[in-house]
């Protein structure tokens, strides 16, 4: 059994960049300008004329945030270039492909439209390390507040979209044939709304796109990877071979089988690991997952001679472990999957290409995941007023120890704070639904009494 007890870090840059409500700190204009100025100054120390690509999802606040960051970049002597509406992994790919000094992604991923965020991408297409983000924060603190800088030009290069889609087409698995293959794409009214249908149509698929008409406020609204009911229903209605659900910035993807069964990141890792091992393309004996991966994935991988290496939740930690061990496949239950031979970050459209390829080669997805038996699992979010160390809460610690003793090796409990929201997540996994329900409710109640709002 694995137990994770994390403390939230009090930093401007959290586990997934800066998150907040536009217009309020830390997404107020003054802070955004200082982010641009500090980033530009940091890059100027390494390049005389650094170019920075800025991409965003479809939130109505995106263009304004981009403009404020561009204002700061120009003041620091950097050149901003807009990729317009594009996925987070698309920005990461463009940074490397076109040799930008850095990238800026304006997105709050799967959050509602009224949230937004800023992620910084280094020249190697990966998130900046913690030490660099800390240095940028330090530089921001030294900048004056309230200074009004002139507006900055932010030219959009639409060719960047075509380059990215063409690169994804080159990642199709050998032997895949897409002509006439029916797929349903739920684009979450987000960054994939035009890119994903264009990509699959270019491959020859018969595409049905849903939730692909963003209006600035409907991103993730009852659709996408957090709400797959509509996708699964449409797959069954249309007789599609596969359904794909993206989130707002399309760095993750979940799937529907032809019968409407949901396949999450655990199913993706299992099917891809088995295929890659058979083809001799899997590097090493392990797949990297997180503390949230289902126990069934451990057991299914073990049966085919592989093991699951677990790390803390977060693509940053998955990537670090993959780089440390040389693994080339890893990811999260949420559908954030890393194929390190193809990309430096999780990419929902890349994952969709790989899974669609596999279905075209090996047959229905439902049969491909049949070897994965999922243990009952429940995740409950408890809203909190503060984030003290979880092991400092006596009642929570006592009940957690009792749960561990009771479940033994046939269950797991994971308690962790969200890195982007005032939540503590309670995940319980066991052989019976009754044990899952009992311990989830018991621990969630104890947390609400101790630190809940």
Q: For residue 27, count CB atoms less than 10 angstroms from its CB and return exposed for 0-12, middle for 13-18, buried for 19 or more.
A: buried
287's enclosing H/E stretch is strand 286-290
Give the pairing type, strands 242-246 and 206-210. unpaired
Residue 443 makes CB contacts below 8 A (sequence gap 6+) with: 396, 399, 400, 403, 413, 415, 426, 428
Token pair listed for 301: 């991988």
What sign results for the dihedral spanned by CA atoms 369, 373, 374, 376? positive
**Sheet (strand 423-429) strand order:** 377-383, 423-429, 412-417
Instruction: Please identify which residue in the block is written with the tokens 């949420």.
Output: 334
**Sheet (strand 329-331) strand order:** 307-311, 286-290, 329-331, 337-339
Reference 393, options 311, 452, 436; nearest CA is 452
Phi and psi torsions of 200, nearest 5°: -75, -30
Residue 34 makes CB contacts below 8 A (sequence gap 6+) with: 72, 140, 143, 145
DSSP annotation of 371 reads T
Annotated catalytic residue within 41, 107, 109, 256 = 109
Tell me whether residue 107 is one of the annotated catalytic residues: no
Q: For residue 445, count CB atoms less than 10 angstroms from its CB and return exposed for 0-12, middle for 13-18, buried for 19 or more.
A: middle
Residue 305 makes CB contacts below 8 A (sequence gap 6+) with: 277, 285
Reference 332, options 268, 386, 390, 271; nearest CA is 268
Alpha carbon 46 to its chain centroid, in Å, reads 29
Q: Which residues are catalytic?
A: 109
């Amino acid at each position: 059994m694995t137990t994770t007890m994390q403390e939230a870090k009090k930093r401007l840059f959290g586990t997934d960049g800066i998150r907040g409500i536009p217009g309020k700190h830390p997404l107020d204009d003054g802070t955004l300008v200082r982010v641009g100025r500090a980033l530009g100054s940091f890059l100027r120390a390494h390049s005389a004329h650094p170019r920075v690509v800025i991409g965003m999802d479809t939130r109505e606040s995106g263009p304004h945030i981009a403009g404020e960051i561009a204002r700061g970049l120009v003041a620091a002597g950097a050149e901003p270039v807009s990729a317009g509406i594009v996925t987070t992994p698309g920005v990461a790919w463009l940074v490397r492909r076109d040799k930008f000094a850095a990238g800026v992604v304006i997105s709050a991923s799967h959050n509602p439209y009224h949230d937004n965020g800023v992620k910084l991408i280094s020249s190697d297409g990966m998130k900046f390390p913690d030490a660099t983000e800390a240095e940028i924060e330090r530089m921001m603190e030294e900048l004056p507040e309230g200074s009004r800088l002139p507006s900055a030009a932010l030219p959009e290069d639409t060719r960047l979209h075509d380059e990215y889609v063409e690169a994804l087409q080159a990642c199709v698995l050998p032997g895949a044939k897409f002509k006439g293959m029916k797929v349903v794409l739920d684009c979450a009214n987000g960054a994939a709304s035009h890119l994903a249908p264009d990509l699959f149509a270019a491959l020859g698929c018969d595409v049905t796109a849903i939730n692909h008409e963003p209006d600035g406020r409907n991103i993730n609204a009852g659709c996408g990877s957090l709400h797959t009911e509509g996708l699964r229903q449409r797959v069954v209605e249309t007789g599609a071979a596969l359904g794909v659900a993206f989130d707002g910035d399309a760095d993750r993807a979940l799937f529907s089988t032809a019968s409407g069964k949901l396949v999450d990141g655990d199913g993706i890792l299992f099917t891809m690991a088995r295929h890659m091992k058979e083809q001799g393309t899997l590097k090493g004996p392990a797949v990297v997952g997180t503390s949230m991966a289902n126990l069934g994935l451990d057991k299914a991988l073990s049966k085919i001679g592989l093991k699951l290496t677990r790390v803390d939740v977060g693509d940053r930690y998955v990537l670090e472990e993959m780089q440390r061990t040389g693994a080339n496949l890893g990811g999260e239950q949420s559908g954030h999957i890393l194929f390190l031979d193809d990309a430096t970050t999780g990419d929902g459209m890349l994952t969709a290409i790989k899974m669609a390829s596999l279905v075209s080669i090996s047959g229905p997805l439902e049969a491909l995941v049949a070897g994965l038996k999922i243990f009952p699992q429940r995740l409950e979010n408890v809203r909190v007023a503060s984030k003290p160390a979880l092991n400092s809460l006596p009642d929570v610690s006592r009940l957690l120890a009792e749960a561990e003793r009771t479940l033994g090796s046939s269950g797991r409990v994971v308690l962790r704070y969200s890195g982007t929201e005032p939540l503590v997540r309670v995940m319980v996994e066991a052989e019976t639904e009754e044990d899952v329900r009992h311990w989830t409710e018991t621990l969630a109640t104890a947390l609400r009494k101790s630190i809940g709002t």
